[in-house]
Amino acid sequence: FFFFFNMSCVVRLLASVGFLLFLSAALTPWYFEFIGGGVAQYSYEVTSHHFLYIVSWSGCTESCDFKYDVEFWDFGEDSDVHAIYGITWSLTVLATIFSMFVILTGKAVTGVCSIVLEIIALCIFFAVTPAYNADTMVCENGPCDQFAGYQEYDGLFDGSYVWGPSFGWIAAILAICWMGLVTLVGCCCCCVNCFCGKKKDNYEIQISDYQQTTYPPEYSHNPSTPVFTPSPTYHSTNETYEEYSSPKKEFYQIPQYTPE
């Protein structure tokens, strides 16, 4: 019992790490855009997109202040892109809930549901490129052209433009790999449990057969003492027997009576 309890604790502990990874994927942005460059000084601006909010921060090397801003994403803006983010976020939340069930039950079966849901979410998120293209009037480069990329600007304004998946997307991939490990460990524990359970059942059957052994009522049996079995009595074949003879019949003559 102590061995199985430890195996369940190992599955729960590993599933806790997977739950944190799924939770990170559900709470952090999945996509970012970075623009940096300048003539006199280097300035940059980073924008990260989540289904519920948009995070942006900017700064420069000399005369400007660092700016950080978080705003909620209006559902009326970029409808196709927002729909892709919404479907991906919903599937990630469901995967997070199923990973929590692994912690509560100690069984890694529900971890398979988390893996499948998150794989579907990752595949759907690749459709964000055509969604950006549909929501953009003129597309030259960037998310509307490629899922991830890098471009440099030369001339009067020297700079670079980088876009691609962000922390949430990377956390989702790590969560899938980690939950796969949890499922593998859970399957191994289940196999060991089934093997040891069969041996335990056979042992209990042998004990029950021994305890249900019946004895004759005239003998009292104590398991700690040997059972007494009376031996049958045999007669020797060398004994002699006298033959039975019937008594001899004796005949008597009855006297005759003569009247006077």
Q: What is the pLDDT of residue 27?
A: 93
> What is the mean predicted confidence (pLDDT) over 126-144?
85
Q: Are 160 and 43 in contact (CB under 8 A)?
A: no
pLDDT at 206 over 60: no
DSSP state of 28: S
Mean pLDDT over each residue of the chain, to the nearest integer: 76
DSSP state of 242: P
Burial of 255 (0-12, 13-18, 19+ CB in 10 A): exposed
Q: What is the pLDDT of residue 173?
A: 95
Higher confidence at residue 216 or residue 116? Answer: 116
Q: What is the pLDDT of residue 10?
A: 80
Instruction: Mark 137-174 as b/e (b = at least 16 C-beta within 10 Å).
Output: eeeeebbbeeeeeeeeeeeeeebebbbebbbbbebbee
**Band of pLDDT at residue 225, cut at 50, 70 and 90:** low
Q: What is the pLDDT of residue 23?
A: 94
**Band of pLDDT at residue 1, cut at 50, 70 and 90:** very low
Higher confidence at residue 64 or residue 216? Answer: 64
For residue 150, what are the CA distances in angstroms to 56, 143, 233?
19, 10, 107
What does the alpha-carbon distance between residue 162 and residue 148 come to, in Å, rounded to a whole number?
8
pLDDT at 48 over 60: yes
Residue whose token pair is 């969604």: 131
Higher confidence at residue 162 or residue 196? Answer: 162
pLDDT at 6 over 60: yes
pLDDT at 59 over 60: yes
Tens digits of residue pLDDT in 63-88: 777 788 888 877 666 688 888 999 99
Mean pLDDT is lowest, of 83-92, 185-194, 233-242, for 233-242
Does the CA dihedral 78-173-18-1 come out positive or negative?
positive
> What is the mean predicted confidence (pLDDT) over 57-61?
82
Mean pLDDT is lowest, of 125-129, 135-139, 187-191, 251-255, for 251-255
The two three-digit tokens of residue 19, written as one number: 């739950």
Q: What is the pLDDT of residue 191?
A: 72
pLDDT at 197 over 70: no
> What is the mean predicted confidence (pLDDT) over 200-222?
50
> What is the mean predicted confidence (pLDDT) over 143-162?
81
Q: Which residues does 4 contact at the CB level (< 8 Å), separation at least 6?
A: 189, 193
